[in-house]
Amino acid sequence: MSRIATLILAAGQGTRMKSQLPKVLHPLCGAPLIAYPLQLAAQMKSETTVLVVGHGRDAVQRAVAQCPGGDRVRFAVQTEQRGTGHAVMCALPALKEHDGWMLILSGDVPLLTHRTLQRLQRQMQGSTAPLGFVTFVPGNSAGYGRVVRENDEVRAIVEHRDCTPKQRAIKEANAGTYLIEAAFLRSALKKLRQDNAQNEFFLTDLVAMAAQRGAVPTVQADEAEVHGINDRVDLAQVERVLLSQKAQTLMRNGVTLHDPDTICIHPAVSVGPDTDIGRGVHITGQSRIGAGCHIEPGVLLHDTVVADGARVRAYSVIEGSHIGAGAQVGPMARLRPGSRLGDNAHVGNWVELKNTVMGDNSKASHLAYLGDGDIGDNANIGAGVIFCNYDGYLKHRTTIEEDVFVGSDCQLIAPVTLHRGAYIASGATVTHDVPEDAMAIARARQVNRADMGRLFRERQAAEKALRAAANESPKARRKSTARPKPPAKGKPR
């Protein structure tokens, strides 16, 4: 078949979504609905793709620009909703140089497959008709255009509201996907009329015109594949289908999924064999999981790479990060964008990383915040360590070189560098660089005052008893919370 251009109809408001957001921008498995027909056009090697927009067109155009290949999409505007035929009329000026075939898709049918379109292409190759389309048999045919046949050959598509009672009994319906010869499309659109119940220009009327030139080819798809999104119930049902398809593919390729119905893995995610994924896991975006990994229950991974043999323990939240081979994360750890763990590194419970690189075999086992840092190999970060990276205006980096030991409850005031082999004593507040192999001790000297603990307890107990006796009257509360008067000027405080 010769060159193909693609028209995607996406001008509708989608009122049944009950949303200010245009229907084609509602997310489905992490991508807007419109991304799915755009991907299909790319698979069909479409030379030109034109998107017909209307409601919320500025937002749609911005979203399309973020989709793969979206920078090459052309736009046509349908200012009035006057039917599918009118939408295609609006798009023709953007395709005035195209003389091959035109593939017409709906912007809200995300499950249509490349395989079905290839079948339609093959059917068209042996036909003299200038048009072919996809059909299906719905469970409930209300609202769908019926495919009218004589002697098994297509004669027309009649919209539901225009059907006779006999035609409404027809089971085969139109799926709204067409492959049309460009020259025929241009001439046939000029003959469209609005003599129907909706007073609109219907693309379906072209089928009867095409049938006069030869047998119109069709291919039948499953109802689920051509199911359009009309409301949020449809959206949820279609998302469940996509997630189920992904889960089945992964399991057949050697991935273990515990309770697949509770697991969300987006279509673009890749997972290696012998990886074990627990209940309630969400892996989204462009994440890539290696072979032999363990992803424990409740983990959230987004746009993250997990190398072979790594383990992400329960209820960790990781986005925009890279986890090295054999590394361990969690449980209940958080890795924010820009974080990178080396091979066999270990980040434990309640540890947060942000834009921090941790070298091979380094570890931060618990209760730490490591933001904007560079940590070398074989470093140890103790419990309660904080990288103080923000001064109220700017972010600064903390650098920890190889073989550094940072004791518990230390604050590292960035920018600061701990050179190779340095040892930071527990409880230190480090404000200056620490030389190689040096020990930094930065804390006040401990002072023990005899009997001060007992005296403090006695005084506080007496105060508590006094307040209880006064029953905390409003007057007593005001007196107890009143600010002390400042000392007289010139007198010692």
pLDDT tens digits, 130-170: 999 999 999 998 889 999 999 999 999 999 999 999 999 99
Q: What integer best gives the mean pLDDT of the chain?
A: 93
Instruction: Say how far apart CA 19 and CA 13 lie, in whole Å.
Output: 9
pTM above 0.75, yes or no: yes
Domains in the chain (CATH in brackets) are 4-220 (3.90.550.10), 255-440 (2.160.10.10)
Question: Per the residue annotation, which of 366, 396, 419, 432 is the catalytic one?
Answer: 366
Q: What is the DSSP string of 146-193?
A: EEEEETTEEEEEE-GGG--HHHHT---EEEEEEEEEHHHHHHHHTT--
CA 337 remoteness from chain centre: 14
Q: Which of 297-301, 474-478, 479-483 has the highest mean pLDDT?
A: 297-301
Instruction: Say how far apart CA 107 and CA 54 lie, in whole Å.
Output: 12
**366 carries an active-site annotation:** yes
Longest dimension (CA), the chain: 113
pLDDT tens digits, 417-434: 999 999 999 999 999 999
pLDDT tens digits, 194-235: 877 778 899 999 999 999 988 999 999 999 999 999 999 999
| CA nearest neighbour of 88 among 22, 158, 174, 186 | 186
Mean pLDDT of 313-334: 98
pLDDT tens digits, 328-347: 999 999 999 999 999 999 99
Q: Is the dihedral of CA 118, 121, 123, 125 positive or negative?
A: negative
| pLDDT over 80 (residue 487) | no
Kindly report the backbone phi and psi dihedral angles of residue 190, in degrees, each rounded to the nearest multiple of 5, phi listed first.
Answer: -70, -20
Kindly report the backbone phi and psi dihedral angles of residue 55, in degrees, each rounded to the nearest multiple of 5, phi listed first.
Answer: -60, 130
